[in-house]
């Protein structure tokens, strides 16, 4: 029986730990933004310029037309590297490698979970499923392949042994129908080295991921969680988000200590072609020196920025307009995957 990452001494780090790089995939699939892809590369370019001022940004830009556009928009940005790795879609959070750290100076490593486009909703996804392995052709890390489906946006960790996730996603039969909750928990423990798992139900109007945690609740330090809250009782998100908050109030960390909870208000609902957009300030991305926060031209933009500013006093908060991006059903956390500094080749 092969030794698992946890047995060897690897663990999955919290997002605020130092990064060696941020990985993204350049947007190119018009089916992701029906009739509205034109402004999206510009949003990616704004994001890349903000993050590259603080850390390396590695971009998957396979196929000549994709590579050409990426070069035109960000090819001149220092600290940016383009890779000729093709993808089906841009949401690398869910199919990219999960980079591991160790406390024992072990060789760099990653976990490559399988990917099926959120339960087979958006085929084809073959290129995305192979992206982590293709990345590792360049990095030459130790690569663990659990052989089960898991999206990076469905989990969040505090780096000390506690993981946040949702039942609607990880226990959905469209992911791993052969696995029980106990077996899913075993995989999380073995491959990410977590000891405590907090399960929310996982519901948000407009979300097509079956309840990714990065829309609902996020760790901002080892013992603090920000959670999306809907203040309007008439809104369809009011009840589900209230239930999530109540579960978090009762939750404890790996040492059985309660968390500090901070509310992140929801923006007012926006629709495109009759479809509600899954807008949430919880879909922020923590980079070295900055936190990129989606803004939606909403009064609560300022509240979200102020709240996250208090959570990250040593980082600059960078709000970027995200309504066009969210028409593709994702935001800044969905489009990124961090490579922890301790995973870098020595």
Instruction: Return the beta strands (E) in 26-153 as ranges.
Output: 56-60, 80-83, 98-102, 109-111, 142-144
- Return all residues near 152 (Cβ < 8 A) that are at least 6 apart: 93, 94, 95, 96, 98, 337
pLDDT at residue 153, as a whole number? 98
pLDDT at residue 103, as a whole number? 84
Residue ranges of the chain with pLDDT lower than 70?
1-2, 343-346
Q: Which of 90, 169, 311, 334 is catalytic?
A: 334
The verdict on whether 334 is a catalytic residue reads: yes
- 293's enclosing H/E stretch is strand 290-295
Q: What range does the domain containing 129 cover?
A: 5-343
pLDDT at residue 290, as a whole number? 98
pLDDT at residue 70, as a whole number? 98
- 239's enclosing H/E stretch is helix 238-250
pLDDT at residue 344, as a whole number? 59
Whether the Cβ atoms of residue 78 and residue 87 lie closer than 8 Å to each other:
no
Query: Residue 117 is part of a domain; what is its CATH number?
Result: 3.75.10.10
pLDDT at residue 346, as a whole number? 37
Measured torsion, CA atoms of residues 43, 169, 196, 221, in degrees rounded to the nearest 10: 20
pLDDT at residue 269, as a whole number? 96
pLDDT at residue 259, as a whole number? 98
| Bond before 176 cis per omega within 30 degrees | no
Indicate if the alpha-carbon torsion angle 3, 166, 23, 318 is positive or negative: negative
Query: How many domains would you assign to the chain?
Result: 1
Measured torsion, CA atoms of residues 278, 281, 286, 290, in degrees rounded to the nearest 10: 130
- Return all residues near 118 (Cβ < 8 A) that are at least 6 apart: 94, 151, 174, 208, 209, 210
């Amino acid at each position: 029986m092969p030794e698992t990452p946890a047995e060897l001494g690897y663990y999955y780090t919290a997002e605020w730990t130092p990064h060696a790089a941020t990985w993204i995939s350049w947007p190119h699939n018009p089916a992701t933004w029906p009739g509205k892809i034109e402004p999206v590369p510009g949003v990616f370019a704004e994001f890349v310029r903000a993050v590259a001022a603080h850390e390396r940004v590695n971009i998957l830009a396979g196929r000549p037309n994709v590579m050409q556009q990426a070069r035109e928009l960000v090819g001149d940005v220092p600290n940016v590297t383009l890779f000729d790795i093709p993808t089906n879609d841009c949401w690398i959070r869910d199919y990219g490698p999960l980079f591991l750290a160790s406390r024992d100076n072990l060789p760099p490593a990653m976990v490559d979970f399988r990917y099926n486009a959120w339960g087979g909703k958006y085929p084809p996804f073959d290129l995305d499923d192979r992206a982590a392995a293709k990345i590792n052709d360049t990095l030459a890390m130790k690569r663990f392949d659990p052989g089960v489906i898991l999206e990076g946006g469905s989990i969040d960790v505090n780096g000390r042994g506690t993981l946040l996730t949702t039942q609607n996603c990880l226990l959905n039969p469209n992911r791993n129908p052969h696995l029980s909750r106990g077996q899913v928990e075993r995989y999380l423990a073995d491959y990410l080295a977590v000891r405590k798992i907090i399960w929310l139900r996982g519901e948000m109007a407009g979300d097509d991921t079956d309840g990714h945690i990065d829309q609902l609740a996020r760790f901002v330090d080892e013992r603090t969680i920000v959670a999306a809250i809907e203040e309007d009782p008439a809104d369809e998100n009011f009840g589900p988000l209230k239930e999530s908050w109540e579960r978090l109030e009762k939750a404890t960390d790996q040492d059985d200590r309660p968390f500090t909870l901070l509310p992140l208000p929801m923006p007012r609902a926006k629709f495109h072609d009759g479809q509600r957009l899954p807008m949430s300030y919880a879909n922020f991305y923590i980079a070295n020196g900055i936190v990129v926060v989606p803004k939606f031209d909403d009064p609560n933009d300022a509240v979200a920025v102020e709240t996250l500013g208090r959570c990250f006093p040593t980082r600059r908060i960078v709000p970027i307009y995200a309504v066009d991006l969210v028409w593709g059903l994702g935001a800044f956390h969905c489009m990124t995957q961090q490579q922890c500094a301790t995973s870098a080749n020595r």
